Structure 1
Amino acid sequence: MKLAIKIEMLRCFRAVAEHGSLADAAETLGRTPSAVSMMLRQFEDHIGAPLFESARKSHLTPLGMMIRAEVERELAHFERTVTNIEGLSRAEHGNVRISATPSVAQVIMPPILRRFMADHPGVRIEMSDTDSATIERDLEAGRADIGMASIGPLSGFERELVFSDAFGVVCPVDHPLARDWSHLTWADMTGYTLIANGLCKQITDDGFRPILDASTLMVRNTASILSLVRSGVGVTILPEMAVLPEFLDLEFLPLTDCSIRREVWMLTPPDKLMTPATRALVRTIRTAEFPRNR
């Protein structure tokens, strides 16, 4: 029974073909000439025909020239594969899919991704911004590697608190509520149209319940909510970090009697099930500098 062709046989043949002698090939490979000669003989025995015209190994046979071309292609492919495998293990390559709520994607993730991409330029990032229910479905269906949202525990996933921030009223800077915002309470919102959103259900304050029940407009996309606020349709309740500093036409008004904070959690598979690239991004998120208890 013939021996199987091994990658070392291909490397040995390539080295002899390149150098034209057993001694020079042996020096390149870090082997003895006799070891190279034996491996080359095993390769030729497997093929069933000589690869060199003479024992001097200075000229390939026509079959040897054809096989050399195949060997070069195979070794190049093998070496690329090894490089890719090592790159994946060191988080130099790979793919990471993030599913995050819009405010997290817009405010929290940009500096994190800028730092991560500088450290891991070969890793491909795919981020979607959506609501918490969709993020949960993305994680369960395997469409996301990391979830960033205000959601509860999810079976099969690790969950850790990333940061929390206060809820407040968001309105135009010239809105009547903005005149004395340092003492704003739920009672002050009576008579104003509330644009409700998905995060409102997290607020369990007794003073907010009748305000939410009276709302006739529910909008789930943060950008759409803020556009409606700008156009004078109404005011809304959002976490502080959802209102970017460059939104100069909008005011975030803290509420003195709001006891609930928005909590953003990171959900990931257990460490042993994460790819190295995902694990590296999780580390970057954990060490990011943003107000965890704003």
Structure 2
Amino acid sequence: MAIKIEMLRCFQAVADHGSLIGAAEALGRTPSAISMMLRQFEEHVGAPLFESARKSRLTPLGALIRAEAARELIHFERTVDAIEALALARAGNVRISCTPSVAQTVMPPILRDFMAARPGVRIDMRDTDSGTVQRDLIEGRADIGLASLPPLPGFQRELLFSDPYGVVCPIDHALEQSWQHLTWSDLDGVEFIANGLCSQIPDADFQPILAASRLMVRNTASILSMVRAGAGVTILPRLAVLPEFLDLEFLPLADTDTRREVWMMMLPDSGVSPAVQALAQAIRGAELDTTG
């Protein structure tokens, strides 16, 4: 018969209380059940663990085993606590891959509240372009992806929000003069900085502007820095214009209804940990300000 954790727990209770009756009361068992469990343990060990039937004094071997049993029971309880914490999403690790605009404008309040409610969960968030977010998901480097993502086999995808595209330029740019009726044609002859999201704009009038671009920049902060430096203007979703760039203007376009769609993508719930499921639910439940 193998040693069971209940045998160790029974033995420790008897040693702690010095009697079968005291151990039975502590464990919520009958004295006869405690006596039988202790006898099975001593038979497995092959030697008595108490010096008398009263169980008030341990044998030298019993004292040694008591120390080992105490360590094992502590380890067992910690293991149980860890398993329950993982199962209840009180612990775990979550890897997020998302676009910079989502990382800087959407995720901070969500992660603040989530981490306060679940202090045992560790978050690893990577901000990158939508193409890399997709690769992170496919190659198993991310549990949750937040970006403009197409459907992927084996993954579940849900729309979080959409926001309008507009021209981003310095606040003193000439395009500001016609911002209330700005159209694609107003960008003819203007130095245009392309970015990774441009491929998601299907408007026919935009394609010649994109084709004429001499500069492609993929990182959002770098794009905005180039615009700030006067290297050209670009097209970005409203939320991608980061708050710290106060000297830049977002100008809506009057002749397009195209919007950037941000999707949350992950494996089905059965394929992810409870911590991932809990964070995904927190993201779903967040109030996102995407007006405009």
Q: Structure 2 length normalisation: TM-score?
A: 0.97
How far off is 1:256 after superposition? Answer: 0.5
The answer to whether the 8 Å contact 1:16/1:24 transfers is yes
How far off is 1:247 after superposition? Answer: 2.6
Segments of 5+ residues of structure 1 without an aligned counterpart are none
Distance 2:131 2:185 in 1: 31
The aligned residue for residue 134 of structure 1 is 132
Q: Which digits, 9 at most, give the CA deviation of each residue in 1:218-249, with x for residues without a partner?
A: 01000111111111111111000111344321
The aligned residue for residue 4 of structure 1 is 2
2:83 is aligned with 1:85 = yes
Aligned residues: 292
The aligned residue for residue 99 of structure 2 is 101
Secondary structure (helix, strand or coil) at the match of 1:207 reads: helix
2:51 is aligned with 1:53 = yes
Distance 1:247 1:221 in 2: 15
The aligned residue for residue 62 of structure 2 is 64
The aligned residue for residue 36 of structure 1 is 34
Letter in 2 for 1:69: A
How far off is 1:282 after superposition? Answer: 1.1
Secondary structure (helix, strand or coil) at the match of 1:208 reads: helix
> Once the two structures are aligned, what percentage of the paired residues are identical?
70
Partner residue of 1:218 out of 202, 209, 216: 216
Letter in 2 for 1:13: F
The aligned residue for residue 149 of structure 2 is 151
Q: Which digits, 9 at most, give the CA deviation of each residue in 1:33-72, with x for residues without a partner?
A: 1111111111010000111121121111111111111111
Q: Which digits, 9 at most, give the CA deviation of each residue in 1:103-138, with x for residues without a partner?
A: 111111111111211221211111111112221121
Secondary structure (helix, strand or coil) at the match of 2:123 reads: strand
Instruction: Show structure 1 runs of 4+ deviating over 3 A.
Output: 291-294
The answer to whether the 8 Å contact 1:145/1:278 transfers is yes
Segments of 5+ residues of structure 2 without an aligned counterpart are none
The aligned residue for residue 199 of structure 1 is 197
Secondary structure (helix, strand or coil) at the match of 1:155 reads: coil
Q: Which digits, 9 at most, give the CA deviation of each residue in 1:19-42, with x for residues without a partner?
A: 111111111011111111111111
Partner residue of 1:259 out of 257, 260, 265: 257
The aligned residue for residue 162 of structure 2 is 164
The answer to whether the 8 Å contact 2:239/2:290 transfers is no
Partner residue of 1:15 out of 2, 13, 16: 13
Letter in 2 for 1:264: V
Coordinate RMSD, CA, aligned = 1.2
Secondary structure (helix, strand or coil) at the match of 2:50 reads: coil
The answer to whether the 8 Å contact 2:93/2:121 transfers is yes
The aligned residue for residue 229 of structure 1 is 227
Q: Structure 1 length normalisation: TM-score?
A: 0.96
Letter in 2 for 1:252: F
Distance 1:182 1:68 in 2: 81
The answer to whether the 8 Å contact 1:148/1:264 transfers is yes
Letter in 2 for 1:249: D
The answer to whether the 8 Å contact 1:163/1:293 transfers is no
Secondary structure (helix, strand or coil) at the match of 2:42 reads: helix
The answer to whether the 8 Å contact 1:205/1:259 transfers is no
Distance 2:139 2:211 in 1: 34
Letter in 2 for 1:49: A
2:260 is aligned with 1:280 = no
The answer to whether the 8 Å contact 2:183/2:253 transfers is yes
The answer to whether the 8 Å contact 2:101/2:242 transfers is no
Secondary structure (helix, strand or coil) at the match of 2:7 reads: helix
The aligned residue for residue 247 of structure 1 is 245
Distance 2:28 2:19 in 1: 14
The answer to whether the 8 Å contact 1:163/1:291 transfers is no
The aligned residue for residue 116 of structure 1 is 114
The aligned residue for residue 24 of structure 2 is 26
How far off is 1:4 after superposition? Answer: 1.2
